[in-house]
Amino acid sequence: MKNFNFKSAASTKEASKLASGRATFLAGGMSLIPALKLRLAAYSDLINIKNIKGLSGIKVSSKSIKIGATTTHAEVASSKEVGKSIPSLSILADGIGDPQVRNRGTIGGSIANNDPAADYPSACLALNATIHTAKRKIPADKFFKGMFETELKKGELIEAIEFEVPEKSSYVKYPNPASRYAVVGVYVAKFNKEVRVSVTGAGNSVFRSKELETVLSSNFSAVAIDNVNISSKGLNSDIHASAEYRAHLIKVMTRKAVSSC
């Protein structure tokens, strides 16, 4: 790793102030530190945000779950309230990385990083989440811009993510056997007025599948998916899976998700 300064911020204000120049925020560091180690990234300053009071924790209401940015995956996975209100979100958190990643990695970090194969971005899109920063509230639909790109401005810190509670929902992924990231992960959420289906791992960033949403909105059943044609155009193709296979997996994972809703 190239040398950097480690600074701890006591408040979101201080964090934003410190985040000037070649500085970045450090939460769990589960993506950032490996990138630094492999010299794929270098920063002058790492601003630790884990000591900021109020950034961690889970608040549940009848309509939504609001999770603080530095809440770890393990905390979300083991939260009884989350398990009761949106069980699929607990399942998702419990399937991120491995136990050590879950003990350290945070929801805010995952979303800010927007890895194309990460799990949480799919939850944000499917559960119509709102990303709260110090300055504004960003709807998930406008947040994820592209591979490792988000709507966040320089120095803008995520404070919390608020998920809408659906009628029912499910997340199913086909993990890459090596990295265990999603080759394809599909999050299906049925709300009173709409069905939202998001897909991670398959494209250069998480996306919603309009075809699947349309079909499932009129008939929320696994068989309804059989006749949907998922195009492989624009999907990722790499040594782990061709675009064609990913397109196929989107259907399979959606079917499984709907069945397990």
Partner 1 sequence: MVSLIGSKLERKEDKRFLTGKGNYTADINLVNQTYASFVRSPHARAKINKIDISKAEKSPGVVKILTGEDLAKDKIGGLIAGWKIVSQDGKDMKVPPHPPLANDTVNYVGDHVAIVIAETLEQAKNAADLVNVSYKIKKAVVNTKEAMNSEAIYEGIEKNLCFDFLLGDKGKTDEGLSKSDKIIKLDLINNRLIPNAMEPRASIGDYNPSSEQLTLYTTNQNPHLTRLVLSAFSAIAPEHKFRVVAPDVGGGFGSKIYPYAEDAVVAWASKKIERPVKWVAERSESFLSDCHGRDHVTHVELGVKNDGKITALKVETIANIGAYASLFATVTPTYLYAPLILGLYDISAASCNVKAVFTNTAPVDAYRGAGRPEATFLIERIVTEAAKEIGMDQAEFRKKNFIKKFPHQQCLVHNIDSGDYSAHLEKALEISDYKNFENRRSQSSKKGKLRGIGFSTYIEACGIAPSAVVMSIGAGVGLWESAEIRFNATGNVSVFTGSHSHGQGHETTFAQIVGDKLGVPIENIDVVHGDTDKGPFGMGTYGSRSLAVGGTAIAKACDKIVEKGKKVAAHMLEGKPEDIEFKAGEFVLKNSNKKKTIGEIAFACYLPGQFGEVKSPLPAGVEPGLKETAFYDPINFSFPAGTHICEVEVDEDTGETKVEKYTAVDDFGTIINPMIVEGQVYGGIAQGVGQALYENGHYDESGQLTTASYMDYTMPRADNFPQIKLGFTSTPATSNPLGAKGCGEAGAIAAPPAVMNAVIDAVGTDVSMPATAEKVWKALKKNPSKKAAA
Partner 2 sequence: MTVINLKVNGKKISKEISDSILLSDFLREKLSLTGTHVGCDTSQCGACVVHLNGNSVKSCTTLAADCDNSEITTIEGLSNNGKMHPMQEAFKKNHGLQCGFCTPGMVMSAVDLLKKNKNPNEKEIRDWLEGNICRCTGYQGIVEAVKDAASKV
CA distance 69 to 181: 21
* Among 69, 71, 97, 235, contact with partner 2 (rule: CB under 8 A): 97
Residue 4 touches which of partner 2, partner 1, none (CB < 5 to 8 A by kind)? Answer: partner 2
Q: What is the crossing angle of helices 243-259 and 210-218, to 10°? A: 30
3-state secondary structure 72-115: EHHHHHHCHHHHHHCHHHHHHHHCCCCHHHHHHCEHHHHHHHCC
User: Half-sphere exposure of 149 toward its Cβ, with a 13 Å CA cutoff?
Assistant: 6
* Among 20, 100, 219, 231, contact with partner 2 (rule: CB under 8 A): 100
Q: Scan residues 223-252 and list those touching partner 1 (CB under 8 A).
A: 239-242, 245, 248-249, 252
Structure tokens at 35: 């990138």
Q: Which residues contact residue 157 at a Cβ distance below 8 angstroms, ignoring those fewer than 6 apart?
A: 12, 15, 16, 19, 25, 49, 69, 133, 134
**Sign of the dihedral through C-alpha 139, 26, 186, 78:** negative
**Contact pattern for partner 1 over residues 180 through 219, marking x by CB under 8 A:** -x--------------------------------------
Q: Which stretch binds partner 2 (CB under 8 A): 84-92, 96-104, 162-170, 220-228?
A: 96-104
**Contact pattern for partner 1 over residues 2 through 21, marking x by CB under 8 A:** xx------------------
Residue 132 touches which of partner 2, partner 1, none (CB < 5 to 8 A by kind)? Answer: none
Q: Does the protein bind partner 1 through residue 40 (CB under 8 A)? A: no
CB 127 within 8 A of CB 86: yes
CA distance 213 to 226: 13
**Helix or strand (DSSP H, E) at 227:** none
* Among 4, 148, 220, 245, contact with partner 2 (rule: CB under 8 A): 4
List residues binding partner 2 (CB under 8 A).
Answer: 1-6, 8, 26, 29-30, 33-34, 36-38, 46, 48, 50, 74, 97-101, 103-104, 179-180
List residues binding partner 1 (CB under 8 A).
Answer: 1-3, 38-39, 174, 176-179, 181, 239-242, 245, 248-249, 252, 255
